[in-house]
Amino acid sequence: MQNKSWWLEFRRKMPVVEKWAYFDHAAVAPLSGPALQTLSAWSCEAASNGEVNWSAWRKRVEEVRDLAAKFVGADSTEIALIHNTTEGITLVAEGFPWKPGDNVVTPVGEFPTNLYPWLNLASRGIEVRQVPTVDERVDLKMLESACDERTRIVTISWVGFATGWRNDVDALAEIAHRRGAYLFLDAIQGLGVFPLDVRKTPVDFLAVDGHKWLLGPEGAGIFFVRRDNLELLQPMGVGWNSVQNEWDFSHPQFNLKPSAARFEGGSYNMAGLHALGASLEMLYGYGVEMLSERVQELTDSICERLRGIGANIVSVREDNRLSGIVAVEVPRKDPNVVRKMCRCRGVIVNCRAGRLRVSPHAYNNDEDIDRLIAAIAI
């Protein structure tokens, strides 16, 4: 799309704009119009016909898998369709061949989803080493120094949830692999608005839920495992859908699928995955590079306008570090009070780490920003 106003079409596909100036995509994003239509159509079909068209629903699941693979540059056999980021992290944390004395390295300040599953390994003799950070800023030298010969996994968020610090994934992969470890990437705050190609950036494992920047519903997400690492993990939650002969219920054979689909276990969240697929198609059509450029333009404008009313921008705004998240301090104002005032005026923002958090998507416009600034300035 060469038209500089391509995002106007995008905006027309977002029902939320009819009521809200929505700046909370880092929490739970509004559904896209295509996702809404897909959910409605599926619900009507399921209510009217039960399982009559189940085979068509199942075929669509594979199309969603292919779309998810395109988004990260993977092969579809490396993609499992999961319920949330936690599930993807747990598949690695619980399925990895640990030995007592092994360790995991992660920064301080990770979202609990990317901490608790690793801490849960303590009873198996696994140490979690947390590297100090300042407002999510990761010192790569300190991170590497925390690794040793017993480090098995470096696990980190692509984008920090509190201030939006965006990590250099290529550098992280190089450090982890140089130390003989694997890299796990929690991609939920970046995938959808920043490009990632796992063929060029050798992430080993990745998980993301679709309810933030991918504009899908909660409960439908993506797990990537590099093909070379497939046999490394002991599958968790295996079920009828984990094996190659999944339809032969009368002659069960435990022959796991030779792909990441072995991790899917049981029945799919059909409605959620179909809706996620609709949003993926829409976003992929616009191009992640275009989405990224637009998000940068919007966050630059938001930062400039906020500074104009005396606010302090905490987020790092260097080109290679910025994200769709802007953390801001408003002098002499409690961020939770500001958040409530904004909502009363039709503006949706959030608070994290004692600061206001603003997170636009590519469809937001100048009018939305005007409403945001007016609500905060009161």
pLDDT higher than threshold 90 for residue 1? no
Count of structural domains, the chain: 2
Give the phi and the psi of residue 231 in degrees, each rounded to 5.
-80, -10
* Among 218, 252, 284, residue at a domain's last position: 284
Query: Does one domain contain both 309 and 167?
Result: no
Q: How confident is the model at residue 3 (pLDDT cuts 50, 70, 90)?
A: low
What is the total residue count of the chain? Answer: 378
pLDDT tens digits, residue range 21-72?
999 999 999 999 999 999 999 999 999 999 999 999 999 999 999 999 999 9
pLDDT higher than threshold 60 for residue 2? no
Q: Which residues contact 181 (CB under 8 A, 6 or more apart)?
A: 105, 147, 151, 152, 153, 154
* Among 257, 284, 311, residue at a domain's last position: 284
pLDDT of residue 378: 77
pLDDT tens digits, residue range 241-296?
999 999 999 999 999 999 999 999 999 999 999 999 999 999 999 999 999 999 99
1 part of a folded domain: no
* Among 262, 284, 306, residue at a domain's last position: 284
Q: Which structural domain range is residue 133 located in?
A: 40-284
User: Per-residue pLDDT averaged across 179-186, rounded?
Assistant: 98
Q: How confident is the model at residue 173 (pLDDT cuts 50, 70, 90)?
A: very high
* Cα gap 106→93, rounded to integer Å: 13
Query: Does one domain contain both 111 and 256?
Result: yes
The encoded tokens of residue 354 equal: 């004692």
* Cα gap 214→28, rounded to integer Å: 10
Query: Does one domain contain both 200 and 92?
Result: yes
pLDDT higher than threshold 50 for residue 119? yes
16 part of a folded domain: yes
